[in-house]
Amino acid sequence: MASSDTPKTLKAHLNKANEEPLYGLFLLSFSPTQAEIAGHAGYDFVVVDMEHNHGGISEALSCLQALAAAQTLAILRLLESSVAWAKKALDLEPQGIMFLVIDDLELAKKAVSYCRYPPNGVRGAAHPVVRASKYGIDEGYINNYEKELLIMCQVESVEAVKNIKEIATIEGVDCVMMGPFDLSVSMGWSRDPVNEKVRR
């Protein structure tokens, strides 16, 4: 059982000084049962992958509910890095959101803007009625969501790797993740993703 000083959000876990490594799992299924099993297996977080799954928002919601019941933090990897998908995903209350194919500074800035309410961004304001605010019961949501939501940018191309330091400096970007298979394809190694040249 977690102690009282255990961080309650994934972002707080990552920001905690001298934190032990975190271990997570990619859930390539929209099965709530598999999500629940993953949650009870002891992982620090689970990424519900909307890119390579067969469903949409409703199916992702079932997985988030199962993970919440198992007291496991959840990240949603979007189907695409667009404002429409971000709006829908954020209202479901993931602890983190992962944006795909962030190749440069401007795309990283756009990703952050999708997660912010105006005037700092373009997120649609329905916070009193969505799951993210516990349907309006969490009165502090509007004041706390920015500091609690983990924003991840995935770099998946040669261009993105060249720009990775700039991407990481954008205010609001909390984590940058490498997409090794897509990177290998962009380098011409689609049939050999573990080639030494890719790993370098």
The identity of residue 188, as a single letter, is G
Q: Which of 40, 52, 54, 127 is catalytic?
A: 52
Torsion of CA 161, 103, 49, 169, to 10 degrees: 70
Specify whether 52 is catalytic. yes
Using CB atoms within 10 A of its CB, is residue 14 exposed (0-12), middle (13-18) or buried (19+)?
middle
Residues in Cβ contact with 32 at an 8 Å cutoff, skipping those fewer than 6 apart: 62, 63, 65, 66
Residue 109 · residue 169 · CB < 8 Å: no
What are the tokens at 150?
Answer: 């983990």
Q: 3-class SS at 26?
A: strand
Of 139, 145, 49, 52, nearest in space to 90 by CA: 145
| Token representation of residue 56 | 């949409």
**Which positions are catalytic?**
52
